[in-house]
Amino acid sequence: MREKADDKLVRVIEKQKIGVVGMSECAGVTLTATSIAKALSRLEDRNVTFLEVGGLRGKRSLIYDAAGMDKRFKTREFTRFYRDIKNGENIRGKSNPDEGVNWCLITPEDVKDEIELTPIENVRLINNISGDIIVCDISNCDNSADYLLDMDTAVFVIDPMPSRMISGYPFMREVKRIEYKGKKVIWVINKYNPGINKRELRDFLKLKEYYKIPFIAAENFYSAEYNCKIPYENKDIRVGLEEFISGIVSGI
């Protein structure tokens, strides 16, 4: 006879990792990833982390600067996760909370100190960062497909410019193989506009289902950055992303 029932169902919120990658440079990975993080931050029962995964080589700009993190954390210390991981420190429990998101970003100091994480160190960062939902911006990163294997969901962002699709097609084939093996992949065509030959696009990509993000005027991104805002906080950008973001949120 059992004194106590030991078959009680224990409910635990599992950590979910969403990896966002691009078919080519400037596909819109950071726009997509930051927008997902901001939208999911509205879920009351989830702690959301935005994690920048990648190297410093060839990096044109920093999310840290674009979002005005120096102003957001003017009276607070901004945790340098990259430095801490490089130094072998424990990052569990550390955070940079702002507007509902924990921001784990490459900082100007990291660039100055030339901190470059190895693939193993990047994996340590991904698996030890705090949060219920981890949105990973995997841009400017070698072996991006390898990081997707550790994600629950992969978001693949496509710039429909023919030259960029041609250059990124080998990477797309890798991701399709990952999807074939069971990985959940969400396909997104960014900058969708009337200049696209829809038949040629369909024949080249051979995708059954995908989201479309319309081409959004550059002035909206300039306005957001001048005001130290995440692009998703701009009304016109948010409207353009509405269908895609609704699909992402409903799947969480």
Kindly state whether residue 8 falls inside one of the protein's structural domains: no
Q: What is the pLDDT of residues 124-143, one digit of tens each?
A: 999 999 999 999 999 877 78
Structure tokens at 68: 């005005």
Q: 176 vs 12, which has greater pLDDT?
A: 176
The region of weakest confidence among 27-41, 54-68, 177-191, 234-248 is 54-68
Element (H, E) at 96: none
What's the CA dihedral at 16, 97, 105, 249 to 10 degrees? 40
Q: Are 160 and 201 in contact (CB under 8 A)?
A: yes
Structure tokens at 124: 């340590």
3-class DSSP state for residue 136?
strand
For residues 164-170, average pLDDT: 95
pTM: 0.91
Q: 247 vs 8, which has greater pLDDT?
A: 247
Kindly state whether residue 25 falls inside one of the protein's structural domains: yes
Structure tokens at 221: 């991104």
Kindly state whether residue 1 falls inside one of the protein's structural domains: no
CB atoms within 10 A of CB 193: 10
Kindly state whether residue 6 falls inside one of the protein's structural domains: no
Q: What is the pLDDT of residues 21-44, one digit of tens each?
A: 999 988 999 999 999 999 999 887
Q: 252 vs 70, which has greater pLDDT?
A: 70
Count Cα neighbours of 29 within 13 Å in the Cβ-side half-sphere. Answer: 26
Kindly state whether residue 182 falls inside one of the protein's structural domains: yes
Kindly state whether residue 4 falls inside one of the protein's structural domains: no
Kindly state whether residue 11 falls inside one of the protein's structural domains: no
Burial of 120: CB neighbours in 10 Å, binned 0-12, 13-18, 19+: exposed
User: CA 39, CA 130: separation in Å to the nearest integer?
Assistant: 18
Count Cα neighbours of 114 within 13 Å in the Cβ-side half-sphere. Answer: 0
User: CA 87, CA 72: separation in Å to the nearest integer?
Assistant: 26
Q: How many domains does the chain have?
A: 1
Kindly state whether residue 130 falls inside one of the protein's structural domains: yes
DSSP classification of residue 220 = H
pLDDT recorded at residue 45: 82
For residues 41-60, average pLDDT: 84
Structure tokens at 218: 């550059």
Domain that holds residue 169: 16-250
Domain of 31, CATH number, reads: 3.40.50.300
